[in-house]
Amino acid sequence: MAFTGVCTAQLCTMRDSFGYYEGMNAAVVGISVDSPFTLAKFKEDQAYQFPLLSDFNKEISQAYGAFYEDFVFNLKGVSKRAAFVLNEEGKIIHSEVLEDAGNMPDFDAIKKAVEA
């Protein structure tokens, strides 16, 4: 969720290491269930160089198995923290869906998958 501590830290890590992915024929994209308007403000405030896409209808989060029906503070339908690397054919070559929203994905594993 935009503007929350761990999500901001995760995307800022990607922002700050963005140069690593340039020239690798890789695209970085963030997806959450926030509205497009919230994500536009979040992107502007944090100066993210990559697109933030809205899964407001929660279809992508559910399709990728990265979805909490019930979350903290009685929130319903929130994306789980996750990281996916897809190859040029759209096949998932790295997948990490975290049950604990306070944890961060394994950025080294993501880099290895992109390099493969």
Give catalytic residues, as residue numbers.
Answer: 7
CA–CA–CA angle 70, 71, 73 (5° rounding):
115
Nearest in space to 39 (alpha carbons), one of 61, 31, 83: 31
Pairing between β-strand 30-32 and β-strand 52-54 as defined by DSSP bridges: parallel
